[in-house]
Amino acid sequence: MKDATVNPPSLGTRSLELYKTLYTIRRAEELIIQYYPENDMKTPMHMSMGQEAIPVGVCAALRDGDQVFASYRSHATFLAKGGATDRFFAELYGRQTGTVNGKAGSMHLADPAKGHMCSSAVVATGIPVAVGAAFAHKRRGTGRLACVFFGDGAADEGAFWESLNTACVMRLPVLFVCEDNGLAVQTPAHVRQGYASLTDIISRFKCHVAAQDTTDVEAIRQTAEGAIIRMRASGQPAFLSFTCYRYLEHVGVREDFHLGYRSRDDYEAWRQRDCLTLQRARLVDAGHGEEALRSLEQDIDERLQQDVARAKVAPPPGPEELFKGVFHEKP
């Protein structure tokens, strides 16, 4: 295996970069909330809102060549892995200028050139693919790793356990990342899990394990960096679990506290430690001027507004697009 270090940290700008990514994702989703009711983005939205620190922190620990495999809740992973915001919105609007010309929508965002290999809407299906990708990287000596994001519900699926077992027995560079929001749609963990602690069980596998209850993007990045260093040193995979809170309904852009399966009080408590608020406060504490921050935020706002405006008027795909890509097409 090649060089075993992670991205060289450039400490001053790094906190700011993390904030910019968090902010971009949050604003992008706020724009989705704003425009979704116009019924022009016809794609089921599984919003990342509230959970953004996990993909942002973990992706910051990855190198460019490392690959991400995501679930349908992938707005944050896509943008955190470097996916372009203009193609993002164009895809949500189903336009020719989208990531796959509108054929993917919100649930299948991908940009292999950026290392965001897929988003999959069948729970846990990206996990085995990440294991195979890790095998290829190990075999070819690329030094890259495969990072797969999934929810706590995916850990109920056989494919998760099959994949964990395979990655452990074959010693593959897979970084398993569980975004534990405690819910599968509206079904809470205790209805689904016949065990007390997932990480306890996984710690019996030949795998590095870390669990954290945090919304601090820097803490998450550090945890991921630590895990990656251990993975590279040992050749074993790693499993990370971060507790988080999904601000909005499972699918769609509204709140859903009126349904009664969870309380607004919980939400308010999580909101107190919102990942953006935390990171912004950290920047201010470190001496970043309020005005500079606001101007930076405005720049992002404007860019995203332009992306939306351009996506709205972009052409839809032509009918010939339907048949494109069923099989590989030589460039």
Partner 1 sequence: MRSRSYCEALNEALHQEMARDPSTFVYGLGVPDRMSVFGSLVGIRERFGPERCFDTPLCEDTMTGFGLGAAINGLRPIHVHIRVDFLLLAMNQLVNMVSTFSYSTGGRLKVPLVIRAVVGRGWGQGYQHSKSLHALFAHIPGLKVVLPTTPRDAKGVLIAAIRDDNPVIVIEHRWLYWATGEVPEEPYTVPLGEGQILRRGSDLTIVATSWMNVEALKAAEILQRAGVSVEVVDPRTIAPFDERLAVESVERTGHCLVADNDWTHCGFGAEVAARVSEQCFGRLKSPVTRLGFAPTPCPTVRVLENEFYPNAEDIVRAVEAKLGLAPSDLSGEDFYSHERRFTGPF
Ligand X SMILES: Cc1ncc(C[n+]2csc(CCOP(=O)(O)OP(=O)(O)O)c2C)c(N)n1
Nearest to 164 by CA among 122, 131, 136, 120: 131
Pick 86 or 152: Cβ nearer ligand X: 152
- Is there binding between residue 165 and partner 1 (CB under 8 A)? yes
Pick 101 or 163: Cβ nearer ligand X: 163
Contact 102, 96 (CB under 8 A): yes
User: From the CB of 154, what's the least distance to Mg ion, in Å?
Assistant: 8
- Tell me which residue has its CB nearest to Mg ion: 151
What is the C-alpha separation between 186 and 183, in angstroms, rounded?
6
Q: Is the dihedral of CA 278, 282, 285, 288 positive or negative?
A: negative
Please report the beta strands in the chain, taking only residues with DSSP state E, as ranges in sequence order.
67-71, 116-120, 146-151, 174-180, 183-184, 187-188, 208-212, 238-243
- Is there binding between residue 153 and ligand X (CB under 6 A)? yes
Pick 27 or 46: Cβ nearer Mg ion: 46
- Is there binding between residue 65 and partner 1 (CB under 8 A)? no
Both tokens of 16, joined, read 């700011």
Contact 146, 69 (CB under 8 A): yes
Q: Please select the residue that binds partner 1; options are 104, 177, 227, 308, rule is CB under 8 A.
A: 104
Contact 286, 67 (CB under 8 A): no
Pick 122 or 169: Cβ nearer ligand X: 122
- Is there binding between residue 75 and ligand X (CB under 6 A)? no
> Residue 294 binds which entry of partner 1, Mg ion, ligand X, none, with Cβ cut-offs from 5 to 8 Å by kind?
none
Q: Looking at this protein, which amino acid is placed at residue 260?
A: G
What is the C-alpha separation between 271 and 276, in angstroms, rounded?
10
- Is there binding between residue 111 and ligand X (CB under 6 A)? no
Nearest to 107 by CA among 91, 96, 87: 91
Residues that bind partner 1 (CB under 8 A): 67, 69, 100-101, 103-104, 108, 110, 112, 117-118, 120, 122, 125-137, 139-140, 146, 158-159, 162-163, 165-166, 169, 324-329, 331
Residues that bind ligand X (CB under 6 A): 73, 121-123, 150-154, 179, 181, 183-185, 250
